[in-house]
Amino acid sequence: MNAVPKAAAPKSDEPIVRIRGLKKSFGEHIVLNGIDFDVAPSQVVVVIGPSGSGKSTFLRCCNGLEQPEGGTVDICGHRLVDHGVMLKERPLNALRTEVGMVFQSFNLFPHLSVLDNITLGPRKLRGASKDEAAAAAMALLEKVGLAQKAHAMPASLSGGQKQRVAIARSLAMRPRVMLFDEPTSALDPELVGEVLQVMKMLAGDGMTMVVVTHEMGFAKEVADVVVVMDGGAIVEAGPPQTIFSAPTQPRTRAFLQAVL
């Protein structure tokens, strides 16, 4: 039922995400000004930078939630955006299932149980049977430490539990890459760790991830590459040791001074 044929397993050096010259404006305001960006299989890329620098818009362009006006976006070797022109709806939807996204605000369906939140996508979009989807969902809930909450309603969960369910729901679509947009920013401080722990586990499993976060400890510990955005551009990118200990760009230094 996928309109886009499932990508053959990429060669180990073929990027899962490949972006060239990405441009996006809102009216006169240039929000992304020519971004080039690659994510290799199993790589964890952490994106940092001041508020308003274009981080969320950038992530949204990676899964077709935002229509850029220039550049190309390839996901698993399929062209999502070609010189600023986005795929039409059907192949777009198929390709979106390759890209999981977790937002700051959880976005669980409030009227569905935890289990139904997770099984909805696989049943509707992947044609999974009820039993098959439920078994896969239970395994994912086990993984994020919430098997006992399968029949709970979202309103009864803590923020950290909601976000772990949102991660499980996204994983249920078996994405090739997971995008996280400030997944812990809405949480009380004592709940941040349990969500970061799940993300760390995913990274350990080899999941390809792009994470926008202000959690510099997570970036230092888990990132393969840290990308610094400012003013709609990537000002610097490199391994965390370099970015945090020996940044070369004044704008990176200024940002790190403000947050560390």
- Site residues for Mg ion per CB under 5 A: 55-56
Among 15, 41, 54, 100, binds ligand ADP (CB under 6 A): 54
In terms of DSSP bridges, do strands 99-102 and 177-181 run parallel, antiparallel, or are they unpaired? parallel
From residue 32, alpha-carbon distances to 1, 21, 72, 88, 156 in Å are: 34, 9, 13, 22, 39
Among 1, 13, 26, 260, binds ligand ADP (CB under 6 A): 26
We find the least distance from the C-beta atom of residue 26 to ligand ADP, in angstroms, to be 3
We find the least distance from the C-beta atom of residue 12 to ligand ADP, in angstroms, to be 31
The DSSP line for 32-44 is EEEEEEEE-TT-E
For residue 72, count CB atoms less than 10 angstroms from its CB and return exposed for 0-12, middle for 13-18, buried for 19 or more. middle
We find the least distance from the C-beta atom of residue 229 to Mg ion, in angstroms, to be 10
**Tokens standing for residue 211:** 């994470």
Pick the closer one to ligand ADP by CB: 43 or 56: 56
For residue 145, count CB atoms less than 10 angstroms from its CB and return exposed for 0-12, middle for 13-18, buried for 19 or more. middle
> Among Mg ion, ligand ADP, none, what does residue 121 contact (CB within 5–8 Å per kind)?
none
We find the least distance from the C-beta atom of residue 49 to Mg ion, in angstroms, to be 9
- Residue 259 makes contact with ligand ADP by CB under 6 A: no
Binding site for ligand ADP (CB under 6 A): 26, 31, 49, 51-57
